[in-house]
Structure 1
Amino acid sequence: MLNPVWIQTFSTVATARSFTDAGRQLGLSQSSVSDHIRRLEQSVGRRLFVRDTHSLALTPDGEALLVHARLILESIARAESQFSAPRLQGRVRLGTSEDLAQGPLPNVLAAFRDAHPDVEFEITIGMTGRLYELMDAGSLDLMVGKRREGDRRGVPLFRGQLGWLARPGTVIDVRQPLPLILVHEPSVTRSVVLDALAKSGWRWHIVCSSSSHSGCIAAARGGLGVTVRAQNLSGRGLVPPVNHAELPALPDVEFVSLSARRLSKPAETLLRLLQKSDLRASRED
């Protein structure tokens, strides 16, 4: 058993090359230092130092143990730092688009909660346009969602290719107006899709509008028409139409994070985690 106290004494002696100096640094008597080294040598079954009245040197086994000793002491220091530091407390007001909330965001929140269990969350799920309004009003600390082409607000997280989705087996009659299922305004996805159709000259009509992506998914699963989501955040139970290659191509959308000018420590910590996390991963339902 490698006693951390003996390991600390051993490392200090190895650096100081003196039992006396090591004892002075550690606040121990020379006899205590000698006792720690003796017990450590007995524990590992190896001689660690070559000693005489004038010099002290590490044996080859001592050199090898010193490498491990430094790693052990560094790990102990990191653990002590983590558990001696004040626990994060407070509240984070987070806004998120529904597609991210239904996809990879819960994994990020779980990782945050594991590390900071005392932080309280207030989560608002809504259309990105509405989240921007709440940010401007000071009602959110930070948000994650889409931004319109040309908008410079926010820090980019990833880009997602929009794709057509419908009930399995759906074949779109391209001779007829495209039956669209879209969320209400203000919606980045809605405006991007309608702009793309207008530029390509496609006829369309909205067969269903919903206040949420869940409503759009339900309508598409019911066979009312086609809806749109970023391909890496595909809807539950939906697939591209059989003849999706005949439909107009859709552009990418950019997902970003946006924060208030002044953040609490919990909100700042969550923001750093969001920006480091890979939110592109989809979730199968």
Structure 2
Amino acid sequence: MRIIFGKVIRMDIRNLETLLAVVRHGSFSDAGKSLGLSRSGVSIRIAALEEEFGQPLFDRSTRPPRLTREGQFVLDQAREMLAVWGRMKRHEKSPEESGLFKLGAVQTVTSGILPFALKRFRDAFPRVRVTIRTGLADELDAMVRVGELDAAVQPLSGNIHAGLTWQTICVEPLMVVAPAGLSGKRDVDLLNGLPFIRYRRIAWGLGRTIQRELAERGIEVSILAEVDSFDAAMNLVRNGLGVTVLPLRRMPDPFPDGVRHIAFGNPPLVRTLGVLWRENVAPSGFVRGLCAALEDSAAEFCPEADTA
């Protein structure tokens, strides 16, 4: 129970989790998929929150709807309350748990959200030793299936193999990233303004997604370079040599000074990040703790464009 907006609230923790899911995943529909609810089920929970607080949490006159000032306040409080709730649930078991947790991750995650999540995980599981192996999504998927890894943090790249479990952590919108001085209001304006820096299409699922969108829209780009890391692409952009497409990662300052970004795709495309593990084989307590730590970190670094 909590007193807020001058009234007594008897809080349903699931409604707060639903609010965070909407913000994390970018829409009521995607939040429902992550929670196993229909879109109407998500709407019912959000409406219940709004009734409890006596305030609209979303401005529904915009498309997509955006958080109101009251909604942002409730979101901030919900994050604190759910963090406390998560610590309460983990308190009794986690300090005594120990062992080895073999984790895989794609490179963009190890340089993005993962370090922040692992700090939270270590606080909850101080006696667990974590090893990290980086690789491409397809490689990590195979290593999880044969037991070389307990779990992998990676983008969703297709159907989940039988015997594996997937939990979505967050959705990251794809952005055309260009030098700050390049003019244009649409993604195609930026893409046509300078040569394009692309990923190796075979190795990167993200690269294949970008190439397919360009082809379907008939956008012809002049290739400056083909790279296999975010840092390489970003350095070329910062120096005014070209444009690229990158996900808006959940981390502090995902894009440096000197660049601008516009949503990529029609409709805008996203990258879905999550955790993959073997059913009934991976150390479930560790996996649950990792998912919770990743979700908390994703919520902390939620981009403004993803709050609808």
**TM-score over 0.5 for the alignment?**
yes
Residue 157 in 1 paired to residue 169 in 2?
A: yes
The structural deviation recorded for 1:268 is 3.0
Residue 183 in 1 paired to residue 202 in 2?
A: no
The structural deviation recorded for 1:141 is 1.0
The structural deviation recorded for 1:281 is 4.5
CA distance in 2, matches of 1:147, 1:88: 29
CA distance in 2, matches of 1:282, 1:274: 13
Q: Is the 8 A contact 1:94 1:141 kept in 2?
A: yes
The AA in structure 2 aligned to 1:179 is P
Partner deviation per Cα, 1:16-72 (whole Å, 9 max, x = no partner): xxxxxxxxxxxxxxxxxxxxxxxxxxxxxxxxxxxxxxxxxxxxxxxxxxxxxxxxx
The structural deviation recorded for 1:105 is 2.3
CA distance in 1, matches of 2:167, 2:191: 41
- Unpaired runs of 5+ in structure 2? 1-86, 304-308
CA spacing shift, 1:84–1:93, aligned 2, 3 Å: closer
What is the DSSP-based 3-state SS (H/G/I as helix, E as strand, rest coil) of the residue aligned with 2:131?
Answer: strand
Q: Is the 8 A contact 2:98 2:128 kept in 1?
A: yes
The structural deviation recorded for 1:162 is 0.6
Larger radius of gyration: 1
CA distance in 1, matches of 2:139, 2:272: 17
The structural deviation recorded for 1:178 is 6.0
CA distance in 1, matches of 2:95, 2:145: 31
**Structure 1 moving runs of 4+ over 6 Å:** 83-86, 172-175
Q: Is the 8 A contact 2:95 2:127 kept in 1?
A: no
CA distance in 1, matches of 2:223, 2:274: 28
CA spacing shift, 1:197–1:104, aligned 2, 3 Å: same
What is the DSSP-based 3-state SS (H/G/I as helix, E as strand, rest coil) of the residue aligned with 1:112?
Answer: helix
Q: Is the 8 A contact 1:128 1:186 kept in 2?
A: no
CA distance in 2, matches of 1:84, 1:254: 30
Residue number in structure 2 paired with 1:44: none
The structural deviation recorded for 1:109 is 0.9
Partner deviation per Cα, 1:127-157 (whole Å, 9 max, x = no partner): 3233223323432111112123x53462222
What is the DSSP-based 3-state SS (H/G/I as helix, E as strand, rest coil) of the residue aligned with 1:170?
Answer: coil
The structural deviation recorded for 1:122 is 1.1
Q: What is the aligned length?
A: 202
Residue number in structure 2 paired with 1:209: 226
**Corresponding residue to 2:286 among 241, 252, 267:** 267
CA distance in 1, matches of 2:179, 2:288: 40
Aligned residues with identical type, % of pairs: 23
CA distance in 1, matches of 2:171, 2:177: 18
CA spacing shift, 1:182–1:128, aligned 2, 3 Å: farther
Q: Is the 8 A contact 2:179 2:238 kept in 1?
A: yes
The structural deviation recorded for 1:163 is 0.6
CA distance in 1, matches of 2:207, 2:234: 14
CA distance in 2, matches of 1:280, 1:180: 32
CA spacing shift, 1:175–1:197, aligned 2, 3 Å: closer
Alignment of 1:70-85 (within 5 A): none
Over the aligned positions, Cα root-mean-square deviation in angstroms equals 3.5
The structural deviation recorded for 1:198 is 0.6
Q: Is the 8 A contact 1:180 1:225 kept in 2?
A: yes
